[in-house]
Amino acid sequence: MGKNLVFLPIVAVVIAIQLLTAWTGTIYYLTQLTMSAYYSLLIVGLCVVMGYAGQISIGHAGFFAIGGYLSAALTTRNLIPHADFLLVRLLNSLGCLQAGQDVYGDPLLVFTPWVACIIAILTTLIVAFILGVPVLKLKGHYLAMATLGFGIIIYRIVLASAYFGEADGISGVPGFMLVPGLLVSGDKAWRVPNYYIAWSVLLLAILLLRQLIDSRVGRALRAIHGSPEAAEAMGVDIATYKLKTFMLSAVFSALAGVLLTHYNGGIGPSEASVMKSVRYVAIVAVGGMANLWGALAMGMLLNFLSLRGLFGSYDDAVFGLILITIMLFAPNGILGLQLGRIWQGLPYFLRKKPVTKGVND
């Protein structure tokens, strides 16, 4: 249990931030912190795929979108016109559906958030499996291209189908009652509980990932990352481990999509865009690749700053600048930064001593 003591200071910081915002009357910060926590959930999952299993994925916004869009569509699209279908009647009698009213007061019959969430997660698992089996055989840039292609396909599907709201996305998504008394909702009254819900989910996910990394699976993954051939020779079933990790991170992304969509009350196509996927990859990289805490720290920081709109219309530019700066001067991520390194990283023309030329240059 000793190795999990590291969670204590983090929990303390999470609670301290909440108390601080309550004390200083800046409770609105919690909204962006909650959203950042959900994005970070996706990012720590991706961190295991990239950092530990060594597989790049530029398609994780696609999994996020599958989760978010399915739960949004299932909990808002009215089934009353189809109420006579056998399947709809069956689902209704099983308690999978709930009645409600739309904004005009007309009756509504939709999936309950729990059922929608489970359908979304199962769909993600199936998609991740079907995609993962052929894609994870690819390497390097080819893998990057294939996952990027998957992301574009999901983006185009949500952008082009009326069921997913085309360019407008889906709004009016109801809250998600996890258990009685715990509602995932953007309503102001639920701001503090939601902050804790998001962080609980995120920290549980990290706990799970840490257990995974320190287990047989984690050792196998590191072996794969180090040398696939050697790992295979030692009897490690490379394909299965890669696939399982990929599917796990896809589920994390989808769960982040489900929860954030209920929290925001809607989702738009920009959540599925390629730039989002690229952002997630970049955040994992600036966090130091195989470093869950680095991924968490950068995920929270960069998402929070973006969501606060601190840089106004220069938001993307600042993001690019941070990326370049960290990659130039701290290639092992902020947490891997040693001050002596900065000196080595300075441009060679700024240094006094000439660099000895050699084969290694």
Partner 1 sequence: MTTELFIQYLVAGVTYGSIYAIVAIGFNIIYNTTGIINFAQGEFVMLGGMLSITFLHYLPLPLAITLAVLVTMGIGAAIEMLFIRWLKDPGVLRMIIITIGLSILIREAALHVWGSNVRALPYFFGNEISTFAIFGARVSPQVLWVIGTCGLMVVALNIFFQATSIGREMRACAANRVAALLCGIDTRNMVTLSFVLSAGIGALAGAVMSPITYTQYDNGTGLAIKGFTVAILGGLGNSLGAVAAGLLLGIIEAFSVSVVPLAFQDAIAISILLIILFVRPYGLFGSSAMAGLKEF
Do 62 and 246 contact (CB within 8 A), yes or no? Answer: no
The answer to whether residue 182 forms part of the interface with partner 1 (CB under 8 A) is no
Q: How many residues bind partner 1 (CB under 8 A)?
A: 48
Q: Specify which residues 234 forms β-bridges with.
A: none
Among 152, 178, 213, 305, binds partner 1 (CB under 8 A): 152
Q: Which residues, 6 or more positions from 351, have their beta carbon under 8 angstroms from its beta carbon? A: none
Tally the C-alpha atoms within 13 A of residue 111's C-alpha that lie toward its C-beta.
Answer: 17
Q: Specify which residues 159 forms β-bridges with.
A: none
Q: How far is the CB of 331 from partner 1 (least distance, A)?
A: 5
The answer to whether residue 157 forms part of the interface with partner 1 (CB under 8 A) is yes
- What's the burial of 294, exposed, middle or buried (CB within 10 Å: 0-12/13-18/19+)? buried
Distance CA 331, CA 324 (A): 10
Other beta carbons within 10 Å of 288: 24
Residue span binding partner 1 (CB under 8 A) among the ranges 33-41, 62-70, 132-140, 191-199: 132-140
The answer to whether residue 282 forms part of the interface with partner 1 (CB under 8 A) is yes
Among 153, 204, 230, 310, binds partner 1 (CB under 8 A): 153
Please, which of residues 309-338 interact with partner 1 by CB under 8 A? 313-314, 316-317, 319-321, 323-324, 327-328, 331
Q: Pick between residue 1 and residue 233 the one whose CB is nearest to partner 1.
A: 233
Among 101, 338, 344, 356, binds partner 1 (CB under 8 A): 344
The answer to whether residue 341 forms part of the interface with partner 1 (CB under 8 A) is no
Summary count for the chain: helices (H), strands (E): 14, 6
Q: Which residues, 6 or more positions from 182, have their beta carbon under 8 angstroms from its beta carbon? A: 193, 197
Site string for partner 1, 90-129 (x = CB under 8 A): ----------------------------------------
The owner of tokens 């998504």 is 173
Q: Specify which residues 266 forms β-bridges with.
A: 171
Report the interface residues with partner 1, using CB under 8 A: 56, 134-135, 137-142, 144-146, 148-150, 152-153, 156-157, 159-160, 274-275, 278, 281-282, 285-286, 289, 313-314, 316-317, 319-321, 323-324, 327-328, 331, 344, 347-349, 359-361
